[in-house]
Amino acid sequence: ARLARGLRSQWPACARGPGRLGVITPYAAQLRELRKIFRDHFGAEAQEIELNTVDGFQGREMDIIIFSCVRTGTQHGQSGIGFLSDIRRMNVGLTRAKYGMYVLGRSAGLKQNTYWNDLIEHAQEKNAFRVIGEGDAGLRDLELMCEPSEADKRQRLEDEEKKLQAEVITKEQERKDKLQNQLLGIMREEQDRKREEHENKEKLQNDLLGMMLRQQKLLQQKHNNITTSSICHDQAAVSDGEVEAAMSHSHNNSNIDNGTTTADEEEEEGEVSDGEIIEAS
């Protein structure tokens, strides 16, 4: 973490920003511990530093790589350097850097392996080997051994250009996706509006049909009531006519009876008169 802090301060162009500085460790437990330490040292800026295992860096590159060799001595009575003795992992770990590589470890333990021993001897020959003690003493001497070559600079510019193009394409695609989603949203809203309008229209038609049926039912009931009233009136008229006819018949009978009685009385009176005349004679 102190080395990373010094590199970011001394070489900001190469060690600051995403994709610039990476830390490789062979073990997952050590990776978790390193992430915690880097968060404590750098806070939010720790996100700019890529920390991962050897396998996690497979196929990737960074401008500067710090390769932490954590198992460099005897452990639980067993000598050796564990995963670090695997030439494939060693090759991956040492070939992830574009411009600067720092290997941290215990040289005495690493020298047990032929490949690591050759690497350490080569670093000593190139005056690229340092012994680091406690604190920051000695870290100031760990500088980049060479500036990027012209070919590396051109490659870096090309990589940056490709990255920018990819970002532009990504943003353009995001813009298109956003626009398409907005259009789809408008279309869905229009479909919902039409569906709601259709449902309201059907509801209105059903309401009108219901009103017409109720009105028709009321008219039918009214017609039935009028017909019933007319029949009752006709029946009442017939009854009144029968009563009048009966009364007329009774009156005629009474007149006939009265006429008969008068005629009889007149006949009797005539007889009496005749008798009186006879007696008088």
Q: Whole-model pTM?
A: 0.47
> Domain residue spans in the chain?
2-147
What's the pLDDT score for residue 143? 54
Q: Rounded CA gap, 170 and 162, in Å?
A: 12
Residue 276 pLDDT level (bands cut at 50, 70, 90): very low
- The pLDDT assigned to 24 comes to 92
Comparison of pLDDT for 248 and 119, the residue scoring more:
119
Residue 234 pLDDT: 59
For residues 189 and 119, give the distance between their C-alpha atoms in angstroms, rounded to a whole number. 67
pLDDT at site 2: 78
Share of the chain above pLDDT 70, in %: 67
Mean pLDDT calculated for residue range 244-256: 54
Whether 11 has a pLDDT exceeding 80, the answer reads: no
CB under 8 A, 24+ apart: contacts of 88-94:
89/26, 89/54, 89/55, 90/115, 90/116, 92/54, 92/55, 92/57, 92/58, 93/24, 93/26, 93/54, 93/57, 93/65, 93/67, 94/67, 94/119
Using the predicted structure, report yes or no on whether residue 174 has a pLDDT greater than 60.
yes
Instruction: Give pLDDT tens digits for 52-97.
Output: 998 888 888 888 899 988 664 554 444 567 767 888 888 888 889 8
Q: What is the pLDDT of residues 221-241, one digit of tens each?
A: 888 887 776 666 656 555 555
Distance CA 139, CA 158 (A): 32
- Minimum mean pLDDT range among 147-156, 192-201, 271-280: 271-280
CATH number (3.90.920.10, 3.40.50.2000, 3.40.1280.10, 3.40.50.300) of 2-147 reads 3.40.50.300
